[in-house]
Amino acid sequence: MLRTHTCGELNKSLVNQSVTRCGWIDTIRDLGQGKFIVLRDRYGTTQIVTNPKSSQEVLETADLLKSEYVVQATGTVSERPSGQENSEMSTGEIELVVTDLQILNKSKLPPFLPNQRELPNEDLRLKHRYLDLRRPQMQKTMFSRSLITKSIRDYFERNDFIDIETPILGRSTPEGARDYLVPSRIQNGSFYALPQSPQIYKQIMMIAGYDRYVQIARCFRDEDLRADRQPEFTQLDMEMSFVDADDVIGMIDGLMKHLAKNILGIELTLPLPRMTYDEAMTRFGHDAPDLRFGMEIVDCTDLAAKSDFRVFKSVADAGNFVRAINAKGGAAKYSRKGIDQLTKFVQEDFGAKGLAWFRVEEDGTLFSPIAKNFAPELLEEFKQRMEGETGDLFLFVADTWEVSCKSLYGLRKRLGAELELYDPDDMNFSWIVEFPMFAHDEEEDRWDAMHHPFTAPRDEDLEFLASDPGRARAKAYDLVINGYEAGGGTIRIHDSETQSHVFSLLGLDEATARERFGFLLDALQYGAPPHGGIALGIDRIVMLFNKLDNIRDCITFPKTQKATDLMTDAPNAVDDVQLGELGIEIAKKEVARS
């Protein structure tokens, strides 16, 4: 070992001992007769000092030091003179009076310094990720991530789960997200797919009798990126046999309590609250609502039908919806111009035709450019329904159920942040349950699986599979934290009769189903136990537990929005020899990257 101690562990108990530490030069303060040099490693920082009594060799070496040099410093731990302690530093009571100083490696002047106050632009951080990862904030997140995965593994081990690895090279199935494909050299023209999730393998493991499976699994989806979405991400994937939805939910409840305590030091009360999908859509317009604040959606369709306002009336008469949110105290914050921006927002992002608004005035009356279309008594009814008070701003979307949900959800999320309706440090855990089995695809007039085609219907909804598929609810559950979908799971179908029924509803004929999922259908016929599970997004959990607002800060080497790794420049072009072995020719060279 080149060191006896790290930079975070020196304290008064070591005074007068000779110790050796290694680290990076964080700062140098040169006072002429002596230098104060702060050395940094992942455990912390300590100050080392030179003075006129230092050896000539030490002084000469100290003169050569620059930012981010890697050094080895041996010296005597000394108490700092009275009044010179630094309470900001964990090692601030002591310093190291250096007796030997070695430069282990030099550093070019970095484009940015790990201790600089203003964060550089993200592209620069990603290009020089090794410098960015030296920043204490990034290190803190990575340690937190490590602690989270360790806690997860401990929890599942205590609960008799088996940690099992599943293949990365798998079979492509055209369901769901786009696959990342890997060409086969041995079988030219054939491709593996990287897993979007280990879904099918873990079901097979249940059939194989490994009744409690867990894996921290890397998953891949070739879709566009977002602040909370990367093409390559990590899931906590688990599956259990002989369980129903409550058992899986209960197991994850326990995990969340364990994590909240270990990572955040807070006690969660179990069970975590649950809300049905239908209730979430009605009250919040979304299946992953942020429950840290209110501002729920209020349905005013019946009132709208009584107005002379053509837009409201026609929408109501057509069987669509006039729904609203009340931005409490929002009238002051949103001027006409501000409301115009909100209108543009719902139009451009959610396809709403417009945004009607009312302001509650000082005298309690409602003001709006469209108010003249409403009888005074009707306005009063609106105010009552919206629980309006002076200074409130009502925002109405009159549209289809889907558009009103999306628009009001978007507005609620935006206004919640802009009006600071919640404490950013709050953590809200809840379940959304009883998702629909199917979503109707209007364009192609067919049913799509809301989750995946192996999801089991609720026992009491079995009959709807035949009579009214849109009414059938699934044994499905999503964990929502602060308005983010932290994960989702289902109880799976384990009998082939129900499975065939679902396939036929999805328009999958037997031959197609066999071609895509034959191995699973076969396996289901050899004694498949009732089973179900869940997958949680580890990156998102790290993000939420660390109060971060983007997932890239939780991943050591993330991709940009164009799915590039700025440090390695992946993806890159490969030479024709490599392509030739794979039997591949590029039809259209759009980008030639080196």
Backbone phi and psi for residue 228, each to the nearest 5 degrees, phi listed first: -115, 20
**Rounded-to-integer distance, Cα 448 and Cα 516, Å:** 16
16, 105, 121, 594: which one binds RNA (CB under 7 A):
121
Cβ 40 to RNA shortest distance, Å: 12
Site for RNA in 263-282 (CB under 7 A): none
From 122-130, 362-370, 492-500, 507-515, span contacting RNA (CB under 7 A): 122-130
Burial (CB < 10 A; 0-12, 13-18, 19+), residue 528, is buried
482 lines the binding site for RNA (CB under 7 A): no
Residue 319: burial class (beta carbons within 10 Å; 0-12, 13-18, 19+): exposed
Name which position in 49, 411, 486, 543 contacts RNA (CB under 7 A): 49
Q: CA geometry: angle at 28 spanning 22 and 29, to 5°?
A: 140
Query: Least distance in Å: CB of 324 to RNA?
Result: 20
Structure tokens at 308: 């002379």
Which of 561, 568, 572, 578 forms a contact with RNA (CB under 7 A)?
561
Residues 219-248 that bind RNA (CB under 7 A): 221, 223-229
What mask, x for binding RNA by CB under 7 A, covers residues 356 to 385?
A: ------------------------------
Minimum distance, C-beta of residue 558 to RNA, in the bound complex (Å): 7
Q: Which two tokens stand for residue 225?
A: 């990126």
CA–CA separation, 69 and 24 (whole Å): 6
Q: Which two tokens stand for residue 121?
A: 């632009």
Instruction: Give the relative orientation of helices 510-524 and 199-207 as an angle to the nearest 10 degrees.
Output: 40
Least separation in angstroms between CB 265 and RNA: 27
- Minimal CA–CA distance to 50: which of 68, 39, 37? 37
- Among residues 31, 266, 462, 574, the one that binds RNA under rule CB under 7 A: 31
Ramachandran class of 285: left when φ > 0, alpha when ψ lies in -120 to 50, beta otherwise = left
Q: Of the two residues 461 and 478, which places its CB atom closer to RNA in the complex?
A: 478
Residue 30 interacts with RNA (CB under 7 A): yes or no: yes
Task: Return the number of the residue (229 or 283) whose C-beta is nearest RNA.
Answer: 229
Choose the binding region for RNA from 4-12, 30-38, 300-308, 574-582 (rule: CB under 7 A). 30-38
Token reading at 533:
């599970």
How many other C-beta atoms lie within 10 A of the C-beta of residue 175?
Answer: 15
* Smallest separation (angstroms) from RNA to the CB of 439: 7
Do the beta carbons of residue 110 and residue 128 sit within 8 Å? Answer: yes
If one asks whether residue 90 binds RNA (CB under 7 A), the answer comes out as no
Q: Which is nearer to RNA, 113 or 378 (CB)?
A: 113
Contact status: 503 vs RNA (CB under 7 A): no
Backbone angles phi and psi of 434, in degrees to 5: 60, 55
Q: Is 350 in the site for RNA (CB under 7 A)?
A: yes
Which CA distances in Å does 398 have to 77, 335, 353, 375, 403? Answer: 72, 21, 8, 19, 9
> For every residue of 36-94, which 3-state class applies, written as one string?
EEEEEECCEEEEEECCCCCCHHHHHHHHHCCCCCEEEEEEEEEECCCCCCCCCCCCCCE
Determine, following the binding rule CB under 7 A, whether residue 80 of this chain makes contact with RNA: yes
Should residue 506 be labelled a site residue for RNA when binding is judged by CB under 7 A?
Answer: no
Under the criterion CB under 7 A, does residue 446 sit at the interface with RNA?
A: no
| C-alpha dist (Å) from residue 217 to 196, 434, 549, 564 | 10, 26, 23, 22
Contact between 340 and RNA (CB under 7 A)?
no
Q: 187-216: which residues touch RNA (CB under 7 A)?
A: 196-197, 199
Query: Are 206 and 161 spatial neighbours (Cβ–Cβ below 8 Å)?
Result: no
Which residue is it, tokens 């009356």? 365
Q: How far apart are CA 367 and CA 358, in angstroms?
A: 5
Residue 51 vs 190, nearer CB to RNA: 51
**Nearest partner of 21 among 93, 86, 102, judged by Cα:** 102
- Candidate list 12, 15, 111, 420; residue touching RNA; CB under 7 A: 111
Task: Find where tokens 């629980």 sit.
Answer: 387
117 lines the binding site for RNA (CB under 7 A): yes
CB of 38 to RNA, least distance (A): 7
Cβ atoms of residues 366 and 359 within 8 Å: yes
Among 20, 27, 428, 500, binds RNA (CB under 7 A): 27
Residues 401-420 that bind RNA (CB under 7 A): 406, 410
For the bound state, the minimum distance from the C-beta of residue 80 to RNA, rounded and expressed in Å, comes to: 4
Count residues near RNA (CB under 7 A).
71
372 or 589: CB nearest RNA: 589
The answer to the question of residue 109 lying near RNA (CB under 7 A) is: yes
Stretch of 13-21, 442-450, 459-467, 572-580 contacting RNA, by CB under 7 A: 442-450
Tell me if 81 contacts RNA by CB under 7 A. yes
Binding of RNA by 444 (CB under 7 A): no
Binding test (CB under 7 A) with RNA, winner from 44, 92, 183, 294: 92
Q: Does 67 bind RNA (CB under 7 A)?
A: yes
In the complex, least distance from residue 319 CB atom to RNA, rounded to whole angstroms: 22
> Is 116 or 137 the residue whose CB approaches RNA more closely?
116
Q: Is residue 69 within 8 Å of residue 107, measured between CB atoms?
A: yes
Which of these segments, 170-178, 181-189, 367-375, 576-584, binds RNA (CB under 7 A)? Answer: 170-178
- Confirm or reject binding of residue 15 to RNA (CB under 7 A): no
